[in-house]
Amino acid sequence: MSHTAELLDDYRNNLLGVFGDPALVLVSGQGCHVTDADGTRYLDLLAGIAVNALGYAHPAWVEAVAEQAGTLAHISNLFTSPQSIALAHRMLAVTGAPEGSHVFFANSGSEANEAAFKLARRHGRAHPDAQGRPRERVLALEHAFHGRTMGSLALTAKEAYRAPFEPLPGGVTHLPATVGALETELDDTVSAVVVEPVQGEAGVRGLPEGFLARARELTRECGALLVVDEVQSGMGRTGAWLASTAQLPAGEFPDAVTFAKGLGGGFPIGAMLTAGPEVSGLLGTGQHGTTFGGNPLAAAAGLATVTTIENENLLANARTVGEHLAARLRTAPGVVEVRQHGLLLGMDLAQQDPDDAVAQRLVAAARSAGFIINATGPATVRLAPPLVITTAEVDTFADALPGLLSRVRRA
Ligand code: PLP
Protein backbone atom coordinates (compact mmCIF):
# COMPACT_ATOMS: atom_id res chain seq x y z
CA MET A 1 0.00 0.00 0.00
CA SER A 2 1.42 3.41 -0.95
CA HIS A 3 1.78 6.10 1.67
CA THR A 4 -1.00 7.99 -0.11
CA ALA A 5 -3.36 4.98 0.07
CA GLU A 6 -2.70 4.58 3.80
CA LEU A 7 -3.32 8.26 4.45
CA LEU A 8 -6.53 8.17 2.41
CA ASP A 9 -7.78 5.26 4.49
CA ASP A 10 -7.19 7.34 7.58
CA TYR A 11 -8.82 10.31 5.88
CA ARG A 12 -12.01 8.35 5.23
CA ASN A 13 -12.16 7.23 8.86
CA ASN A 14 -11.65 10.68 10.30
CA LEU A 15 -12.75 13.43 7.95
CA LEU A 16 -16.10 14.34 6.45
CA GLY A 17 -15.44 13.90 2.74
CA VAL A 18 -17.61 16.81 1.70
CA PHE A 19 -15.81 17.14 -1.63
CA GLY A 20 -15.60 13.38 -2.20
CA ASP A 21 -12.37 11.43 -1.99
CA PRO A 22 -9.35 13.73 -2.32
CA ALA A 23 -7.37 13.01 -5.48
CA LEU A 24 -4.00 13.64 -3.83
CA VAL A 25 -2.38 13.86 -0.42
CA LEU A 26 0.09 16.72 -0.78
CA VAL A 27 3.03 17.11 1.54
CA SER A 28 5.15 19.97 0.20
CA GLY A 29 5.33 22.75 -2.36
CA GLN A 30 8.05 24.86 -3.89
CA GLY A 31 7.53 27.53 -6.53
CA CYS A 32 4.77 26.28 -8.84
CA HIS A 33 5.24 22.58 -7.96
CA VAL A 34 3.75 20.39 -5.25
CA THR A 35 4.79 16.92 -4.13
CA ASP A 36 2.48 14.17 -2.92
CA ALA A 37 2.87 11.62 -0.14
CA ASP A 38 4.48 9.15 -2.55
CA GLY A 39 7.05 11.67 -3.73
CA THR A 40 5.40 12.45 -7.10
CA ARG A 41 5.82 16.04 -8.25
CA TYR A 42 3.14 18.07 -10.07
CA LEU A 43 3.06 21.44 -11.82
CA ASP A 44 0.19 23.19 -10.05
CA LEU A 45 -1.92 25.07 -12.58
CA LEU A 46 -4.67 25.60 -10.01
CA ALA A 47 -2.79 27.20 -7.09
CA GLY A 48 -5.18 26.03 -4.37
CA ILE A 49 -8.01 27.34 -6.61
CA ALA A 50 -6.69 30.81 -7.35
CA VAL A 51 -5.15 31.21 -3.90
CA ASN A 52 -1.38 30.71 -3.94
CA ALA A 53 -0.53 33.87 -5.86
CA LEU A 54 3.17 33.59 -5.01
CA GLY A 55 3.28 29.84 -5.51
CA TYR A 56 4.60 27.72 -2.64
CA ALA A 57 7.18 28.70 -0.03
CA HIS A 58 8.01 32.05 -1.58
CA PRO A 59 10.90 33.35 0.58
CA ALA A 60 9.32 36.79 1.17
CA TRP A 61 6.03 35.24 2.28
CA VAL A 62 7.69 32.56 4.44
CA GLU A 63 9.90 35.14 6.13
CA ALA A 64 7.00 37.49 6.85
CA VAL A 65 4.77 34.73 8.24
CA ALA A 66 7.57 33.15 10.31
CA GLU A 67 8.58 36.49 11.77
CA GLN A 68 4.98 37.40 12.61
CA ALA A 69 4.35 33.95 14.13
CA GLY A 70 7.31 34.53 16.40
CA THR A 71 6.19 38.04 17.33
CA LEU A 72 2.40 38.15 17.63
CA ALA A 73 0.12 35.63 15.96
CA HIS A 74 -3.37 36.34 17.25
CA ILE A 75 -5.06 38.98 19.35
CA SER A 76 -8.73 39.30 20.17
CA ASN A 77 -10.99 41.38 17.99
CA LEU A 78 -11.08 43.92 20.82
CA PHE A 79 -7.62 44.99 19.65
CA THR A 80 -5.83 45.61 16.39
CA SER A 81 -2.28 45.34 15.04
CA PRO A 82 0.04 47.34 12.77
CA GLN A 83 -0.17 44.48 10.24
CA SER A 84 -3.95 44.61 9.79
CA ILE A 85 -3.90 48.41 9.65
CA ALA A 86 -1.13 48.31 7.04
CA LEU A 87 -2.88 45.63 4.96
CA ALA A 88 -6.13 47.61 4.91
CA HIS A 89 -4.17 50.71 3.92
CA ARG A 90 -2.43 48.89 1.07
CA MET A 91 -5.66 47.33 -0.19
CA LEU A 92 -7.36 50.73 -0.31
CA ALA A 93 -4.35 52.18 -2.13
CA VAL A 94 -3.80 49.47 -4.76
CA THR A 95 -7.49 49.15 -5.61
CA GLY A 96 -7.90 52.92 -5.99
CA ALA A 97 -10.82 52.98 -3.54
CA PRO A 98 -12.44 56.40 -3.08
CA GLU A 99 -11.73 58.68 -0.09
CA GLY A 100 -13.40 57.50 3.09
CA SER A 101 -13.33 53.79 2.15
CA HIS A 102 -12.66 51.10 4.75
CA VAL A 103 -11.78 47.42 5.01
CA PHE A 104 -13.40 44.73 7.16
CA PHE A 105 -11.43 41.49 7.59
CA ALA A 106 -12.90 38.00 7.67
CA ASN A 107 -11.45 34.52 7.09
CA SER A 108 -12.88 33.38 3.77
CA GLY A 109 -14.77 34.46 0.69
CA SER A 110 -18.05 33.19 2.08
CA GLU A 111 -17.57 35.23 5.24
CA ALA A 112 -16.71 38.33 3.23
CA ASN A 113 -19.94 37.85 1.28
CA GLU A 114 -21.91 37.32 4.50
CA ALA A 115 -20.64 40.76 5.50
CA ALA A 116 -21.74 42.19 2.15
CA PHE A 117 -25.19 40.64 2.56
CA LYS A 118 -25.53 42.22 6.00
CA LEU A 119 -24.34 45.51 4.54
CA ALA A 120 -27.11 45.24 1.94
CA ARG A 121 -29.71 44.62 4.66
CA ARG A 122 -28.47 47.66 6.60
CA HIS A 123 -28.58 49.77 3.45
CA GLY A 124 -32.12 48.56 2.80
CA ARG A 125 -33.19 49.84 6.20
CA ALA A 126 -31.34 53.13 5.85
CA HIS A 127 -32.92 53.75 2.42
CA PRO A 128 -36.52 52.48 2.46
CA ASP A 129 -38.70 52.26 -0.66
CA ALA A 130 -41.30 54.86 -1.66
CA GLN A 131 -43.79 53.25 0.80
CA GLY A 132 -41.33 53.58 3.65
CA ARG A 133 -40.61 49.81 3.78
CA PRO A 134 -37.07 48.50 4.09
CA ARG A 135 -35.64 47.38 0.77
CA GLU A 136 -35.35 43.60 1.15
CA ARG A 137 -34.52 42.39 -2.34
CA VAL A 138 -31.03 41.56 -3.57
CA LEU A 139 -30.28 40.87 -7.22
CA ALA A 140 -27.57 38.36 -8.12
CA LEU A 141 -26.76 36.65 -11.42
CA GLU A 142 -27.55 33.27 -12.88
CA HIS A 143 -24.59 30.87 -12.53
CA ALA A 144 -23.23 32.98 -9.66
CA PHE A 145 -21.05 31.42 -6.99
CA HIS A 146 -20.64 33.42 -3.79
CA GLY A 147 -19.99 30.67 -1.23
CA ARG A 148 -21.72 27.97 0.80
CA THR A 149 -22.56 29.53 4.16
CA MET A 150 -26.27 30.32 4.49
CA GLY A 151 -26.16 33.97 3.39
CA SER A 152 -23.54 33.49 0.69
CA LEU A 153 -25.44 30.37 -0.45
CA ALA A 154 -28.57 32.48 -0.83
CA LEU A 155 -26.54 34.59 -3.30
CA THR A 156 -25.19 31.47 -5.07
CA ALA A 157 -27.36 30.40 -8.00
CA LYS A 158 -26.69 26.67 -8.33
CA GLU A 159 -29.82 24.76 -7.34
CA ALA A 160 -27.90 21.60 -6.39
CA TYR A 161 -26.01 23.56 -3.72
CA ARG A 162 -29.09 25.46 -2.49
CA ALA A 163 -31.93 22.93 -2.47
CA PRO A 164 -30.74 20.69 0.44
CA PHE A 165 -30.54 23.71 2.76
CA GLU A 166 -33.76 25.60 2.15
CA PRO A 167 -35.03 27.84 3.57
CA LEU A 168 -32.20 30.23 2.82
CA PRO A 169 -32.21 33.91 3.75
CA GLY A 170 -34.86 35.44 1.50
CA GLY A 171 -35.18 38.19 -1.03
CA VAL A 172 -32.54 37.09 -3.57
CA THR A 173 -33.45 36.95 -7.27
CA HIS A 174 -31.03 35.53 -9.85
CA LEU A 175 -31.06 37.27 -13.23
CA PRO A 176 -29.43 36.57 -16.55
CA ALA A 177 -26.45 38.91 -17.02
CA THR A 178 -28.25 41.25 -19.41
CA VAL A 179 -28.89 44.95 -19.06
CA GLY A 180 -32.54 44.31 -20.01
CA ALA A 181 -33.04 41.93 -17.08
CA LEU A 182 -31.41 44.40 -14.72
CA GLU A 183 -33.59 47.25 -15.96
CA THR A 184 -36.73 45.12 -15.48
CA GLU A 185 -35.91 43.93 -11.95
CA LEU A 186 -34.16 46.93 -10.44
CA ASP A 187 -36.45 49.23 -8.49
CA ASP A 188 -36.60 50.89 -5.09
CA THR A 189 -37.25 47.55 -3.33
CA VAL A 190 -33.70 46.40 -4.19
CA SER A 191 -30.96 47.01 -1.62
CA ALA A 192 -28.04 45.59 -3.62
CA VAL A 193 -26.92 44.07 -6.89
CA VAL A 194 -24.18 41.47 -6.32
CA VAL A 195 -21.99 40.33 -9.21
CA GLU A 196 -18.72 38.54 -9.94
CA PRO A 197 -16.83 40.50 -12.61
CA VAL A 198 -15.59 37.12 -13.88
CA GLN A 199 -17.63 34.07 -12.88
CA GLY A 200 -14.88 31.64 -11.93
CA GLU A 201 -16.85 28.63 -10.71
CA ALA A 202 -19.16 28.96 -13.72
CA GLY A 203 -16.21 28.24 -16.02
CA VAL A 204 -14.39 31.60 -16.09
CA ARG A 205 -17.03 33.70 -17.80
CA GLY A 206 -16.66 37.46 -18.00
CA LEU A 207 -19.67 39.76 -17.88
CA PRO A 208 -21.05 40.98 -21.20
CA GLU A 209 -19.42 44.18 -22.49
CA GLY A 210 -20.90 47.24 -20.81
CA PHE A 211 -22.92 45.29 -18.23
CA LEU A 212 -21.04 46.40 -15.13
CA ALA A 213 -20.89 50.05 -16.24
CA ARG A 214 -24.66 50.05 -16.79
CA ALA A 215 -25.20 48.24 -13.48
CA ARG A 216 -23.22 51.03 -11.80
CA GLU A 217 -25.45 53.69 -13.41
CA LEU A 218 -28.69 51.89 -12.67
CA THR A 219 -27.87 51.03 -9.05
CA ARG A 220 -26.94 54.64 -8.44
CA GLU A 221 -30.17 55.89 -10.04
CA CYS A 222 -32.37 53.62 -7.93
CA GLY A 223 -30.35 53.89 -4.72
CA ALA A 224 -29.14 50.27 -4.52
CA LEU A 225 -25.60 49.20 -3.65
CA LEU A 226 -23.36 47.68 -6.31
CA VAL A 227 -21.45 44.85 -4.62
CA VAL A 228 -18.66 43.21 -6.59
CA ASP A 229 -17.41 39.79 -5.52
CA GLU A 230 -13.70 39.74 -6.38
CA VAL A 231 -12.96 36.72 -4.19
CA GLN A 232 -11.63 34.78 -7.17
CA SER A 233 -10.89 37.57 -9.67
CA GLY A 234 -9.29 40.10 -7.32
CA MET A 235 -5.80 40.82 -5.98
CA GLY A 236 -3.97 40.36 -9.26
CA ARG A 237 -5.48 37.16 -10.58
CA THR A 238 -6.75 38.77 -13.80
CA GLY A 239 -3.65 40.94 -14.27
CA ALA A 240 -5.12 43.89 -12.35
CA TRP A 241 -5.79 44.42 -8.66
CA LEU A 242 -9.52 44.38 -9.42
CA ALA A 243 -11.19 42.80 -12.43
CA SER A 244 -14.08 45.24 -12.05
CA THR A 245 -12.09 48.46 -12.47
CA ALA A 246 -11.48 48.00 -16.20
CA GLN A 247 -15.21 47.36 -16.70
CA LEU A 248 -16.21 50.65 -15.07
CA PRO A 249 -15.77 54.17 -16.42
CA ALA A 250 -12.78 56.06 -14.98
CA GLY A 251 -13.57 57.43 -11.54
CA GLU A 252 -16.34 54.90 -10.90
CA PHE A 253 -16.07 52.27 -8.16
CA PRO A 254 -18.43 49.63 -6.71
CA ASP A 255 -20.02 50.37 -3.31
CA ALA A 256 -18.48 47.25 -1.80
CA VAL A 257 -15.91 44.70 -2.96
CA THR A 258 -15.27 41.31 -1.39
CA PHE A 259 -11.93 39.48 -1.37
CA ALA A 260 -10.35 36.23 -0.14
CA LYS A 261 -8.40 33.53 -2.01
CA GLY A 262 -5.30 35.31 -3.40
CA LEU A 263 -5.32 38.00 -0.71
CA GLY A 264 -3.35 35.95 1.82
CA GLY A 265 -1.24 34.04 -0.71
CA GLY A 266 -2.25 30.79 1.04
CA PHE A 267 -3.19 32.11 4.45
CA PRO A 268 -6.94 32.08 5.18
CA ILE A 269 -8.13 35.67 5.08
CA GLY A 270 -11.12 37.40 3.50
CA ALA A 271 -12.16 41.03 3.37
CA MET A 272 -14.92 43.41 2.44
CA LEU A 273 -14.02 46.87 1.21
CA THR A 274 -16.72 49.48 1.77
CA ALA A 275 -16.36 52.38 -0.65
CA GLY A 276 -16.76 55.87 0.74
CA PRO A 277 -17.92 57.15 4.12
CA GLU A 278 -21.65 56.54 3.73
CA VAL A 279 -21.39 52.84 2.90
CA SER A 280 -18.61 52.45 5.46
CA GLY A 281 -21.00 53.76 8.11
CA LEU A 282 -23.73 51.19 7.46
CA LEU A 283 -22.49 48.43 9.77
CA GLY A 284 -22.61 49.80 13.29
CA THR A 285 -20.54 48.79 16.31
CA GLY A 286 -21.21 45.20 17.32
CA GLN A 287 -23.23 44.39 14.20
CA HIS A 288 -20.68 42.10 12.61
CA GLY A 289 -17.32 40.48 13.28
CA THR A 290 -15.39 37.26 13.77
CA THR A 291 -12.78 36.03 16.25
CA PHE A 292 -9.99 35.52 13.76
CA GLY A 293 -10.68 37.98 10.93
CA GLY A 294 -7.52 39.83 9.93
CA ASN A 295 -5.42 38.68 12.84
CA PRO A 296 -1.75 39.78 12.73
CA LEU A 297 -0.53 36.50 11.23
CA ALA A 298 -3.05 36.51 8.39
CA ALA A 299 -2.50 40.21 7.82
CA ALA A 300 1.29 39.73 7.63
CA ALA A 301 0.72 37.04 5.01
CA GLY A 302 -1.54 39.42 3.08
CA LEU A 303 0.98 42.25 3.29
CA ALA A 304 3.81 40.03 2.05
CA THR A 305 1.59 38.89 -0.82
CA VAL A 306 0.63 42.40 -1.94
CA THR A 307 4.21 43.67 -1.58
CA THR A 308 5.65 40.76 -3.56
CA ILE A 309 3.06 41.14 -6.33
CA GLU A 310 4.27 44.74 -6.64
CA ASN A 311 8.01 44.03 -6.27
CA GLU A 312 7.99 41.22 -8.81
CA ASN A 313 5.66 42.93 -11.28
CA LEU A 314 3.27 40.00 -11.11
CA LEU A 315 0.25 41.82 -12.56
CA ALA A 316 2.16 42.18 -15.83
CA ASN A 317 3.32 38.56 -15.55
CA ALA A 318 -0.30 37.42 -15.12
CA ARG A 319 -1.25 39.26 -18.29
CA THR A 320 1.64 38.16 -20.50
CA VAL A 321 1.88 34.53 -19.36
CA GLY A 322 -1.93 34.28 -19.39
CA GLU A 323 -2.13 35.52 -22.98
CA HIS A 324 0.68 33.22 -24.06
CA LEU A 325 -0.95 30.21 -22.41
CA ALA A 326 -4.37 30.99 -23.90
CA ALA A 327 -2.87 31.31 -27.39
CA ARG A 328 -1.18 27.94 -27.02
CA LEU A 329 -4.26 26.18 -25.61
CA ARG A 330 -6.37 27.47 -28.51
CA THR A 331 -4.21 25.56 -31.00
CA ALA A 332 -4.79 22.14 -29.37
CA PRO A 333 -7.20 19.92 -31.34
CA GLY A 334 -10.32 19.32 -29.24
CA VAL A 335 -10.23 22.73 -27.55
CA VAL A 336 -13.38 24.59 -28.53
CA GLU A 337 -12.94 27.89 -26.67
CA VAL A 338 -10.53 29.49 -24.22
CA ARG A 339 -11.62 32.41 -22.03
CA GLN A 340 -8.64 34.21 -20.52
CA HIS A 341 -8.56 36.92 -17.85
CA GLY A 342 -4.93 37.25 -16.81
CA LEU A 343 -4.06 33.92 -15.18
CA LEU A 344 -7.67 32.84 -14.80
CA LEU A 345 -8.57 30.66 -17.77
CA GLY A 346 -11.57 28.58 -18.74
CA MET A 347 -11.15 26.04 -21.52
CA ASP A 348 -14.13 24.36 -23.21
CA LEU A 349 -13.49 20.95 -24.75
CA ALA A 350 -15.27 19.16 -27.59
CA GLN A 351 -17.68 16.54 -26.24
CA GLN A 352 -18.33 13.32 -28.11
CA ASP A 353 -21.97 13.43 -26.95
CA PRO A 354 -23.91 15.75 -24.62
CA ASP A 355 -23.21 13.53 -21.55
CA ASP A 356 -19.51 13.25 -22.25
CA ALA A 357 -17.61 14.29 -19.08
CA VAL A 358 -14.43 14.90 -21.06
CA ALA A 359 -13.17 17.59 -18.65
CA GLN A 360 -13.09 15.14 -15.74
CA ARG A 361 -11.15 12.65 -17.84
CA LEU A 362 -8.69 15.34 -18.88
CA VAL A 363 -8.18 16.37 -15.24
CA ALA A 364 -7.33 12.75 -14.33
CA ALA A 365 -5.05 12.25 -17.35
CA ALA A 366 -3.27 15.54 -16.64
CA ARG A 367 -2.71 14.46 -13.04
CA SER A 368 -1.18 11.19 -14.18
CA ALA A 369 1.14 13.25 -16.38
CA GLY A 370 2.10 15.55 -13.48
CA PHE A 371 -0.23 18.55 -13.95
CA ILE A 372 -2.93 19.86 -11.60
CA ILE A 373 -5.97 21.48 -13.27
CA ASN A 374 -9.66 21.27 -12.45
CA ALA A 375 -13.05 20.90 -14.10
CA THR A 376 -15.88 23.39 -13.54
CA GLY A 377 -18.30 21.38 -15.66
CA PRO A 378 -18.44 18.27 -17.86
CA ALA A 379 -16.64 19.97 -20.75
CA THR A 380 -14.89 22.90 -19.05
CA VAL A 381 -11.50 23.02 -17.40
CA ARG A 382 -10.17 25.87 -15.27
CA LEU A 383 -6.57 26.97 -14.95
CA ALA A 384 -5.54 29.45 -12.24
CA PRO A 385 -1.81 28.96 -11.72
CA PRO A 386 0.36 30.96 -9.32
CA LEU A 387 0.97 34.52 -10.57
CA VAL A 388 4.72 33.77 -10.48
CA ILE A 389 4.46 31.05 -13.13
CA THR A 390 6.74 31.40 -16.15
CA THR A 391 6.15 30.97 -19.85
CA ALA A 392 8.48 27.97 -19.82
CA GLU A 393 6.41 26.32 -17.06
CA VAL A 394 3.03 26.82 -18.75
CA ASP A 395 4.60 25.59 -22.01
CA THR A 396 5.19 22.17 -20.44
CA PHE A 397 1.41 21.84 -20.04
CA ALA A 398 0.65 23.31 -23.46
CA ASP A 399 3.13 20.84 -25.00
CA ALA A 400 1.46 17.91 -23.25
CA LEU A 401 -2.16 18.95 -23.94
CA PRO A 402 -2.66 17.55 -27.47
CA GLY A 403 -1.42 14.13 -26.34
CA LEU A 404 -3.58 14.23 -23.19
CA LEU A 405 -6.66 15.19 -25.22
CA SER A 406 -6.19 12.38 -27.68
CA ARG A 407 -5.70 9.95 -24.78
CA VAL A 408 -9.03 10.97 -23.18
CA ARG A 409 -11.06 10.53 -26.38
CA ARG A 410 -13.47 7.66 -25.86
CA ALA A 411 -12.98 4.74 -28.24
N1 PLP B 1 -16.99 34.10 -4.15
C2 PLP B 1 -16.38 33.63 -5.25
C3 PLP B 1 -16.43 34.44 -6.51
C4 PLP B 1 -15.69 32.43 -5.21
O5 PLP B 1 -15.09 31.96 -6.32
C6 PLP B 1 -15.66 31.69 -4.00
C7 PLP B 1 -14.97 30.40 -3.92
O8 PLP B 1 -14.72 29.74 -4.90
C9 PLP B 1 -16.32 32.22 -2.88
C10 PLP B 1 -16.97 33.42 -2.99
C11 PLP B 1 -16.31 31.49 -1.57
O12 PLP B 1 -15.06 31.62 -0.99
P13 PLP B 1 -14.60 30.62 0.20
O14 PLP B 1 -14.51 29.27 -0.40
O15 PLP B 1 -13.30 31.19 0.65
O16 PLP B 1 -15.65 30.72 1.26
What is the pLDDT tens value at each position of the chain, 411 positions in all?
789 999 999 999 999 999 888 999 999 999 999 999 999 999 999 999 999 999 999 999 999 999 999 999 999 889 999 999 999 999 999 999 999 999 999 999 999 999 999 999 999 999 999 999 999 999 999 999 999 999 999 999 999 999 999 999 999 999 999 999 999 999 999 999 999 999 999 999 999 999 999 999 999 999 999 999 999 999 999 999 999 999 999 999 999 999 999 999 999 999 999 999 999 999 999 999 999 999 999 999 999 999 999 999 999 999 999 999 999 999 999 999 999 999 999 999 999 999 999 999 999 999 999 999 999 999 999 999 999 999 999 999 999 999 999 999 876
CA of 403 to the centre of ligand 1 (A): 33
Residue type, 98: P
What is the per-residue pLDDT for 410?
77
CA of 232 to the centre of ligand 1 (A): 6
What is the per-residue pLDDT for 39?
97
Closest protein CA for atom 14 of ligand 1 = 109
The binding-site residues of ligand 1, defined as CB within 6 angstroms of any ligand atom, are: 108-110, 113, 145-147, 196, 200-201, 229, 231-232, 260
CA of 1 to the centre of ligand 1 (A): 36
- Using the atom order of ligand 1, give the atom closest to the CA of residue 108: 15
Closest protein CA for atom 12 of ligand 1 = 109
**For the whole prediction, is pTM greater than 0.95?**
yes
The Cα 351–Cα 302 span in angstroms is 41
- Using the atom order of ligand 1, give the atom closest to the CA of residue 200: 5
- Using the atom order of ligand 1, give the atom closest to the CA of residue 49: 8
- Using the atom order of ligand 1, give the atom closest to the CA of residue 110: 16
CA of 149 to the centre of ligand 1 (A): 10
What is the per-residue pLDDT for 388?
98
CA of 201 to the centre of ligand 1 (A): 9
- Ligand 1: which of 261, 263, 269, 376 to mutate, most ligand atoms within 8 Å of CB? 261
What is the per-residue pLDDT for 2?
87
CA of 49 to the centre of ligand 1 (A): 9
CA of 233 to the centre of ligand 1 (A): 10
CA of 261 to the centre of ligand 1 (A): 7
Closest protein CA for atom 7 of ligand 1 = 147
What is the three-state SS of the chain? CCHHHHHHHHHHHHCCCCCCCCCCCEEEEEECEEEECCCCEEEECCHHHHCCCCCECCHHHHHHHHHHHCCCCCCCCCCCCHHHHHHHHHHHHHHCCCCCCEEEEECCHHHHHHHHHHHHHHHHHHCCCCCCCCCCEEEEECCCCCCCCHHHHHHCCCHHHHHHHCCCCCCEEEECCCHHHHHHHCCCCEEEEEECCEECCCCCEECCCCHHHHHHHHHHHHCCEEEEECCCCCCCCCCCCCCCHHHCCCCCCCCEEEECHHHHCCCCCEEEEECHHHHHCCCCCCCCCCCCCCCHHHHHHHHHHHHHHHHCCHHHHHHHHHHHHHHHHHCCCCEEEEEEECCEEEEEECCCCCCCCHHHHHHHHHHHCCEECEEEECCEEEECCCCCCCHHHHHHHHHHHHHHHHHCCCC
What is the per-residue pLDDT for 47?
98
CA of 145 to the centre of ligand 1 (A): 7
- Using the atom order of ligand 1, give the atom closest to the CA of residue 268: 15
CA of 156 to the centre of ligand 1 (A): 10
> Topology of 78-312 in CATH?
Aspartate Aminotransferase; domain 2 (3.40.640)
- Ligand 1: which of 105, 113, 117, 145 to mutate, most ligand atoms within 8 Å of CB? 145
Q: What are phi and psi of 29, to 5 degrees?
A: -145, 145
- Ligand 1: which of 198, 199, 231, 238 to mutate, most ligand atoms within 8 Å of CB? 231
Instruction: Please give the ipTM for the structure prediction.
Output: 0.99
Convert 193-210 to b/e letters by CB count within 10 Å (16 or more is b).
bbbbbbbbbbbbbbbeee
